[in-house]
């Protein structure tokens, strides 16, 4: 067993407990968490790693939604309008994907680790990111993605998807969890949605899907109108949407670990359904700002838990969760900054963990020992400021512990 102590422990537990001068005893799971003086009394024979003044110890961050296969993009893709972005992705897809080889993806994963992320939900369209994901020490929920609406292609697409999933399943380990992503309601034929969800239920795999990311998607799904008309006609010879939003959501019953990404155009009825499904919402504020100039209405979520995702570098300039948290904090300027910062640290830890069916994201007994440490630039007088100051000032972390090991 190892023990580490810090000035501040941010537990992200049920009560949002903050322990001043606290310590954590752990092996691969967290065994004990208490004040340093109590831990010293309880474990007199174990050497304690004492972190310096203004140090913080908290659960590792969980990035619930990222597309690593688009890590090659910096300045190529068009932002400002979802439809222009989509067309630019189609135009540059080959080049971008070729650029994102394992070496590049591994370097991005390494930077994610240094910026405090210990777990990712990786949406994999082609499994070109598999090799890098397997090699990285981060915890991965590896979402093999299904996409395609053309009736005559269904068998081929489903066979290809099952191949990718079965290869991913060969790498299953305590830090690599195979899972299923449905691309979106507009891009996946209901037959494929039904069949992949059947697999998810049989094998108890976590599931995620993009949902109502843009106005264009809303108009197409509800009314077969808008810019998507041209897109579907030109690329797929399709004049009507394959589904309606509620029909799509209805297919997701009895999925244990389920999340929907974006939801910026979802209605209150959609959110009621998402709540009934026991799903979480992955909030990707930077991506939504860049592609759509819109933002998720957190008020509409009521008590649906939300998580934080960076989305890919196809719609973000950074995969750092602290960069993303700063953006979320600044974007929702109607919220009290202190309370909201506390909520955001939970969203980026325990909520991400629950959305993907993990046992992580909290400094609590029997949780996986995934932790990060860093130092604040100066003292904090009032502990209610702590979460906000962490988000404002943290760029890189000092120590990263995954499954009880320093990595």
Minimum CB distance to Zn ion, residue 66 (Å)? 8
Active-site residue identified among 49, 69, 202, 213: 213
Indicate the residue among 69 and 311 with the shorter CB distance to Zn ion. 311
Which of positions 311-330 make contact with Zn ion (CB under 5 A)? 311
Phi, psi torsion values for 83, nearest 5 degrees = -70, -40
Q: Which stretch binds Zn ion (CB under 5 A): 17-25, 144-152, 305-313, 388-396?
A: 305-313
Q: What does 109-169 look like in DSSP terms, one character per residue? A: HHHHHHTTEEEEEEEESSSTTHHHHHHSSSEEEEEEEE-B--GGGHHHHHHHHHHHHHHHH
CA atoms of 157 and 193, how far apart (whole Å): 12
Which one of the spans 37-45, 152-160, 265-273, 304-312 is the region binding Zn ion (CB under 5 A)? 304-312
Distance from C-alpha of 23 to C-alpha of 34, rounded to nearest angstrom: 6
Shortest distance (Å) from residue 362 CB to Zn ion: 26
Shortest Cβ 142–Zn ion spacing (Å): 15
Are 141 and 122 in contact by the 8 Å Cβ rule? The answer is yes
Burial readout 36-47 (b: 16 or more C-beta within 10 A, e: otherwise): beebeeebeeee
State in angstroms the smallest separation of the CB of 314 from Zn ion: 8
CB 67 within 8 A of CB 125: yes
Residues 6 or more apart whose CB falls under 8 angstroms from that of 7 comprise: 20, 21, 51, 53, 54, 55, 56
For residues 136 and 133, give the distance between their C-alpha atoms in angstroms, rounded to a whole number. 5
* Of residues 311 and 368, the one with the C-beta less far from Zn ion: 311
Candidates 19-27, 131-139, 271-279, 306-314; binding stretch for Zn ion (CB under 5 A): 306-314
Q: Give the nearest distance from C-beta 311 to Zn ion in angstroms.
A: 5
Nearer to Zn ion, 280 or 394 (CB): 280
384 is catalytic: no
Per-residue tokens: 11: 């537990």
Stretch that binds Zn ion, among 128-136, 162-170, 240-248, 308-316 (CB under 5 A): 308-316
307 to 64, 99, 166, 336, 346: CA distances (angstroms)? 7, 29, 28, 19, 8
Q: Which is nearer to Zn ion, 5 or 288 (CB)?
A: 288
Nearer to Zn ion, 13 or 216 (CB): 216
Residue with smallest beta-carbon separation from Zn ion: 311
Q: Count interface residues toward Zn ion (CB under 5 A).
A: 1
Please list the active-site residues.
Answer: 213
Give the footprint of Zn ion on this chain (CB under 5 A): 311
């Amino acid at each position: 067993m190892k023990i580490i102590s810090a000035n501040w422990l941010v537990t992200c537990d049920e009560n949002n407990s903050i322990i001043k001068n606290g310590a954590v005893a752990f092996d691969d799971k967290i065994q004990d968490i208490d004040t340093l003086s109590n831990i010293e009394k309880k474990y007199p024979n174990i050497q304690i790693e004492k972190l310096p003044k203004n140090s913080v110890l908290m659960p590792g961050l969980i990035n619930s939604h990222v597309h690593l296969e688009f890590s090659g993009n910096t300045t190529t893709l068009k932002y400002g309008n979802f439809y222009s972005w989509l067309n630019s992705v189609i135009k540059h897809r080959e080049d971008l994907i070729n650029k994102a080889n394992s070496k590049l993806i591994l370097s991005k994963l390494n930077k994610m680790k240094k910026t405090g992320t210990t777990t990712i939900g990786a949406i994999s369209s082609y499994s070109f990111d598999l090799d890098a994901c397997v090699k990285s020490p981060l915890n991965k929920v590896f979402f093999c993605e299904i996409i395609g609406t053309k009736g005559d292609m269904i068998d081929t697409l489903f066979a290809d998807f099952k191949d990718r999933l079965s290869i991913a399943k060969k790498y299953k380990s305590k830090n690599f969890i195979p899972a299923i992503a449905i691309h979106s309601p507009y891009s996946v034929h209901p037959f494929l949605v039904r069949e992949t969800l059947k697999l998810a239920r049989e094998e108890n795999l976590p599931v995620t899907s993009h949902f109502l990311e843009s106005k264009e998607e809303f108009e197409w799904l509800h009314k077969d109108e808008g810019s998507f008309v041209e897109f579907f006609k030109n690329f797929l010879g399709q004049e009507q949407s394959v589904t309606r939003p509620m029909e799509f959501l209805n297919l997701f019953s009895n999925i244990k670990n389920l999340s929907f990404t974006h939801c910026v155009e979802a209605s209150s009825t959609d959110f009621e359904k998402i709540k009934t499904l026991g799903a979480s919402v992955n909030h990707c504020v930077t991506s939504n700002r860049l592609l759509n100039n819109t933002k998720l209405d957190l008020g509409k979520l009521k008590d649906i838990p939300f998580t934080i995702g960076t989305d890919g570098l196809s719609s973000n300039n950074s995969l750092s969760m602290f960069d993303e948290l700063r953006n979320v904090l600044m974007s929702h300027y109607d919220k009290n900054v202190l309370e909201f910062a506390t909520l955001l640290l939970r969203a980026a830890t325990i909520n991400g963990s629950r959305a993907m069916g993990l046992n992580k994201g909290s400094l609590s007994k029997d949780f996986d020992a995934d932790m990060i440490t860093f130092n604040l630039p100066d003292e904090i007088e009032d502990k209610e400021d702590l979460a906000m100051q962490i988000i404002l000032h943290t760029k890189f972390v000092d120590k990263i512990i995954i499954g009880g090991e320093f990595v």
